[in-house]
Amino acid sequence: MSEIGARAPTVMDVAREREDVLVGEEIVRHKLSSRLIHWTVAIFFVGALLTGMPIWSPVFGWMAYLFGGLSVCRWLHAWLGVAFSVGTVVMFVAWVSDMKFDANDRKFSFIDYLKFSAAEDPEVGKYNAGQKLFFWSVLAAMLVVLLTGIPLWWPKEFGWRLRQVCIVLHDVGFIFWFVAIVGHIYLGTAAEPGTFRSMTRGTVTKPWARLHHPRWFREVTGGRR
């Protein structure tokens, strides 16, 4: 026991409890609880997607067999949707303080950002405006899809005229989500190397932080280079 207690805390030890700190050459970007809630929400999201898509179109009928058939999907989809919504609310509470738009975010141009060539705005903090927009739109879409999903879950309790409208809005929310999640996964993995580890190990490198989030880098390192 004494040996373990005596050693200096490693970056992994720190990353369990704290974030936005420099440990050696690594910066902790997401502490363990942040990473857990992200992956919990992600798993429920993918589950709801895979159980919903075979109901959306027979083209994706094969997905239903992953869960035991379409009649399983019919109830599992609803429960996964509820679990996803609860997880999203927890994630919202945990992250909302970092997600407020500031004056600097108004200058953000998604087109310029996607060109990848221009130097990053030096005033970009822990999250850029695109990430904040993704956060808020996931929440908005969650509310739309949850509220329209409830009448579809209990057909006998709600009128069919209401359910007609719900089907259309539920579909619109799904299509938005599919596009958004492809962009989110792409930008978090292949497009920007060094990003994915911030959601697994929890840390990023100094050059990564300096490139993508310059103001956050200065805040964490206290202005040192």
Partner 1 sequence: MGAIQGLEIRRSSASLRGGGTMLRQQPTVAKYIDTTICIGCKACEVACQEWNDLPLVKTEQIGTYQTTPTLQPNFWNLIQFREVDTGPTGFAWLLRKDQCMHCADPGCLAACPAPGAIVQYQNGIVDVDPEKCIGCGLCEPGCPFDVPRYTARDNKMAKCTLCVDRVTVGLEPACIKACPTGCLQFGDKDSLLALGHHRVGQLRENGFAQAAVYDPPGVGGTSVITILRHGDHPEWYGLPKDPSVPTTVSLWKRVLHPIGFVAMAAAIFGAIGHFMAFGPKKPKEGGEA
Sign, CA dihedral 203-206-209-212, equals: negative
Q: And the tokens for 58?
A: 């027979």
- Please state the closest distance from residue 122 (CB atom) to partner 1, in A: 11
| Closer residue to partner 1, CB minimum distance, 6 or 59 | 59
- Under rule CB under 8 A, residue 2 binds partner 1: no
Residues in binding contact with partner 1, number by CB under 8 A: 46
- Please state the closest distance from residue 174 (CB atom) to partner 1, in A: 7
In angstroms, rounded to a whole number, what is the distance separating the alpha carbons of residues 133 and 140?
10
| Closer residue to partner 1, CB minimum distance, 7 or 156 | 156
In angstroms, rounded to a whole number, what is the distance separating the alpha carbons of residues 10 and 206?
17
What 3-state class would DSSP assign to 58?
helix
- Please state the closest distance from residue 209 (CB atom) to partner 1, in A: 9
In angstroms, rounded to a whole number, what is the distance separating the alpha carbons of residues 34 and 37?
5
- Please state the closest distance from residue 79 (CB atom) to partner 1, in A: 15
- Under rule CB under 8 A, residue 137 binds partner 1: no
Binding partner 1 by CB under 8 A: which of 7, 8, 57, 223? 57
Binding partner 1 by CB under 8 A: which of 79, 174, 199, 219? 174
Site string for partner 1, 183-212 (x = CB under 8 A): x--x---xxxxx----------xxxx-xxx
The angle subtended at Cα 111 by Cα 110 and Cα 116, nearest 5°, is 95
Which secondary-structure segment (H or E) carries 195? none
Strand order in the sheet with 203-205: 21-23, 26-28, 203-205
What is the separation, in whole angstroms, between the first and last Cα of the chain? Answer: 37
Binding partner 1 by CB under 8 A: which of 156, 222, 223, 224? 156
Give 224: exposed, middle or buried? Use CB within 10 Å, 0-12, 13-18, 19+. Answer: exposed
Binding partner 1 by CB under 8 A: which of 61, 86, 89, 133? 61
Stretch 78-117 residues interacting with partner 1 (CB under 8 A): 114-117
Q: How far is CA 143 from CA 148, 180, 185, in A?
A: 8, 16, 22
- Please state the closest distance from residue 72 (CB atom) to partner 1, in A: 9
Which residues on neighbouring strands pair with residue 204, listed in sequence order?
27
Q: Which residues bind partner 1 (CB under 8 A)?
A: 55-59, 61, 70-71, 73-74, 114-117, 152, 155-156, 160-161, 163-165, 167-168, 171-172, 174-175, 178-179, 182-183, 186, 190-194, 205-208, 210-212, 225
